[in-house]
Structure 1
């Protein structure tokens, strides 16, 4: 105590704290103070917090690192598995209570606010930075493609921005770079989002190999589209439009040639049964009476490419009981549904007898298996741009073969024989028109000539068991890669010789050859580049495999967005949902693997302890 005159009055037992011995009245004053509201509130706080030494970690000790790593992993687990932060907070408190003999568990604390701060300020920037490091890890930056799409969340228009690139260690990689709200759906608005997102992480449009989006005019219009505006900055950027979208539109176009509105039938029947449990139960009773196994009526979503055919399958499985039920309810059956199904009181007919609507449903069910198969191939993770031309060419050939053979499905053929000659001939003509329209539409929207640069990528599938210098030269010329990637053609020739020799070794034995052929294109190239140093060939292959085959990854982003941004979590900010999507999609580690990785990263642990930090402070963080 340095204040003059207070030396004799002051008594103190706690550092930086003093009492006046003259004024303090002893036990009476203590009792009076103990009864005040302020004292009682402070005591409750002490009881809830416990002692500081027991529950607070003051410095970065080994124990502190383990506590922080456990907290961060707990948050990662919450995001990865789509749990709410309130439930995660409750679970952590329960863990602390039940594992009270653990010194780590005692010191863990992670409320909703802290968890959100770690996700938005630490884990999300960290996940993005890991992607940027991979792109810039080599002597020259890796080429990558840009993917974008748009989807509504209420009255908000959301745009994700994703990347695809190839590395010999990980193969084809898809990651999300940004997820923003933007009411401006014009080409200018979308380009601004792309440029802003790339600049914020130090990437350039010069590195972009292709732009991928659906086939809307705003994306690929001739004069004023996102693609044309991007080409103003990077004239060599390729068009990576969605081929699954082409297949979907082919079905829509071809269905217009049928006099039976198959899609509307599916929608109307689902609508009729989905709103009434009583109707569903009555249909089940009709199925039991007809000795037919009941199948739930499935919903078809017009924007979902693969939902129509399964819905048709379920209708056909319930067809006879379904017709009988709709006829039995008389006027309760909607007039439009009666018209679509051509229902009359005697329409149920006899067992085994066909009706026109059933024949059309059988035809669609059969032919749409082709479309369904192609879409699934295009959206597979193992499908690459190298495989696109062969997939689309095979699809076209199968459509032409069916048309030329007049084959509309075996069950369809049997049912056609039970129709009247005029109805059967009319149906066959429309089925042929369906196939003709599909063939014409596919040819219109996909270039099957040798001028298509996708045609020249086929040798990179390694289906022939070799890769020639001539094939590589054509690819480089078609995509103008020699100057862009600084390719040494002389060195590339030697690398082609080495790669062909390596391929012969990998497929020498019959069993090894079968195993090799079962691998995807990217997996084959991963094995080659891990076995030999082929820098020029790797540069070309990395560029080609960065080009996407469909917009399937963007669709997965939107599906995950809907799972996270539910009505229960409708108050979540766009920034929080963005961060959760980035963490969920960019980290491939399990929760156990993530804990081990975080425990080794001292900088990430420091950032997590700080909770709210600026993005630039975590740019250099690296998970070992």
Structure 2
């Protein structure tokens, strides 16, 4: 008859805590010696014998005089560790938010440990420049994208925009999207990516946009492409099919009715240049020549100051005009006009000056050309700031451009010339021909502007959305063309629900007209956001929301991309030029996408 074996039971485990379960129920493992003891035959006696061995006693003495490796690490669930990680992430974000160098973190962490020596979190803070950069690249920047994608789950439409900027041999292309988030801030613009391309061909740009949207599964939501008016983007004013980004995106996204929006700031820029280039006197060259004459010569500048004192005008430095930003000519012309008497006296008193400058100041009609240029540019300058404001809708921009067009047309029809121009042309033999020349400039500016704003007429069906203040004139029939426009582009609207929701909207607007006039002074998208938030059930505005998500997702200009380029330039300065493209990308994603986050 076989003898029954002993087992390593819970009773034995409690009596001998240095032992744990072994390979089977008849086996025990000594955690101190890291060896196995068979208890099947002798049970407790086997454990007692092992504990009494010299080897076990030595291991106990060694263990008591040394620490375990695990003691040097915080458990992943440690509150101190979590607080430390949170503090390091906050410091990294603070560094980026306030445009500080990563090098500043070399002393920030050690200073924090000294200042808050009684804090366990501060004691564990180890966040130098390398770790801070890693946190931004691997944690904060990816989190901005995750947040955006999560927001877009409940949003049906977005537009995409891009442009190119050179940094040495690199061509940088930021990919921006715009959408309407009624639960957030209304119109929101975010950066999805920032990549370099080896060239600026339409194929490369279109592929980059398509790949970025596909990566985040956003291709079905994209309804519009926004870019400047270069041929590579749209193929000309008529948007002809061909080798351009717009056509390629239509094909790759499989969206025949994809909307293309050019930049109105570029349209105004080109309209003005198109007109002023018809003038016989090249004002742009004159302004550049005068600036360059004084820019690096202290002696000449000091002499000009003396002439300013002589003619009793206050000296102000001449301004530099950028050829790529043509509307920068306006403040330059304005400054030359303020200093004109002193400049004229100065140059005519010099023996040797550039011929172009000499002939300009000897010409009796030169000042008339300056005053006309200043008057014409003031139309554009006053409206340019409005055009480039953030979160303008397409029709708001269209109204601004139409107002510029209206002023140009009225000046042309009325043969208008400012009094300052007429005074300088009085009793001049060329007065009539110069006046006709100026009127032709109006016509050229007007024609160019009219041709390029034609595509914006497609959005006339949404005009009712901009008339919230004049709500007594709104009728449901105003929405019919809007519904048809959206249906063609795959956005189905339930007209029965829409009618009831429209009636509720009118009631809301009438109450605002009586109680809260300030409501109508807000941006258009803010007015709509407030309305949606005031309604308790989304079913009461579901169809209106579809329309708003489509309309407000379409960016009215490309100025947002230019703002990104400005952010990039602040990172790559003469003093800070060693950041990699990946690091700059992470910094820009953090700064731009988390604009509303306050530290």
Q: TM-score higher than 0.5 here? A: yes
- Residue 255 of structure 1 pairs with residue 276 of structure 2: yes
Q: CA deviation at 1:491?
A: 0.8
Q: CA deviation at 1:326?
A: 2.5
Distance in 1 between the 2:446 and 2:187 partners?
31
Aligned match of 1:503: 509
Aligned match of 2:377: 368
Q: CA deviation at 1:95?
A: 3.3
Given that residues 386 and 544 in structure 1 are in contact (C-alpha distance below 8 angstroms), is that contact kept between their aligned partners in structure 2?
Answer: no
Question: Where does structure 1 lack aligned partners over 5 or more consecutive residues?
Answer: 18-51, 348-354, 593-624
Alignment partner of 1:152 out of 132, 157, 166: 166
Aligned match of 1:184: 199
Distance in 1 between the 2:371 and 2:327 partners?
17
Given that residues 464 and 478 in structure 2 are in contact (C-alpha distance below 8 angstroms), is that contact kept between their aligned partners in structure 1?
Answer: yes
Given that residues 379 and 549 in structure 1 are in contact (C-alpha distance below 8 angstroms), is that contact kept between their aligned partners in structure 2?
Answer: no
Q: CA deviation at 1:360?
A: 1.1
Q: CA deviation at 1:81?
A: 1.7
Given that residues 379 and 552 in structure 1 are in contact (C-alpha distance below 8 angstroms), is that contact kept between their aligned partners in structure 2?
Answer: yes
Alignment partner of 1:531 out of 517, 529, 534: 534
- Residue 120 of structure 1 pairs with residue 132 of structure 2: no
Q: CA deviation at 1:62?
A: 3.5
Q: CA deviation at 1:8?
A: 9.8
Q: Which is further off, 302-311 or 57-66?
A: 57-66
Alignment of 1:478-557 (within 5 A): 478-480=485-487, 484-509=490-515, 512-513=516-517, 515-532=518-535, 533-557=540-564
Alignment of 1:104-143 (within 5 A): 104-136=121-153, 138=154, 141-143=155-157
Given that residues 260 and 360 in structure 1 are in contact (C-alpha distance below 8 angstroms), is that contact kept between their aligned partners in structure 2?
Answer: yes
Distance in 2 between the 1:487 and 1:553 partners?
30
Given that residues 571 and 577 in structure 2 are in contact (C-alpha distance below 8 angstroms), is that contact kept between their aligned partners in structure 1?
Answer: no
Q: Which is further off, 244-253 or 485-494?
A: 485-494
Aligned match of 2:14: none
Given that residues 236 and 480 in structure 1 are in contact (C-alpha distance below 8 angstroms), is that contact kept between their aligned partners in structure 2?
Answer: no
Q: Deviations over 1:234-261 (max 9, x none)?
A: 1121111112211110011111111111
Q: Which is further off, 265-274 or 255-264?
A: 265-274
Q: Deviations over 1:410-461 (max 9, x none)?
A: 33233333xx42232232122111101111111222228xx93122222110
Q: Which is further off, 265-274 or 462-471?
A: 462-471
- Distance 1:285-1:65 versus aligned 2 partners, 3 A rule: farther
Distance in 2 between the 1:99 and 1:415 partners?
72
Q: CA deviation at 1:91?
A: 3.1
Secondary structure, counterpart of 1:567 in structure 2: coil
Distance in 2 between the 1:406 and 1:109 partners?
72
Secondary structure, counterpart of 2:195 in structure 1: strand
Distance in 1 between the 2:527 and 2:127 partners?
45
Aligned match of 2:45: none
Aligned match of 2:18: none
Given that residues 486 and 492 in structure 2 are in contact (C-alpha distance below 8 angstroms), is that contact kept between their aligned partners in structure 1?
Answer: no
Which is bigger in relative contact order (C-alpha 8 A, separation at least 6)?
Answer: 1
Distance in 2 between the 1:165 and 1:583 partners?
18
- Residue 426 of structure 1 pairs with residue 433 of structure 2: yes
Given that residues 344 and 361 in structure 2 are in contact (C-alpha distance below 8 angstroms), is that contact kept between their aligned partners in structure 1?
Answer: no
CA RMSD, 1 decimal: 2.5
Given that residues 383 and 549 in structure 1 are in contact (C-alpha distance below 8 angstroms), is that contact kept between their aligned partners in structure 2?
Answer: yes
Distance in 2 between the 1:62 and 1:579 partners?
28
Distance in 2 between the 1:260 and 1:237 partners?
43
Aligned match of 2:232: 218
Which runs of at least 4 in structure 1 moved beyond 6 Å after TM superposition? 3-11
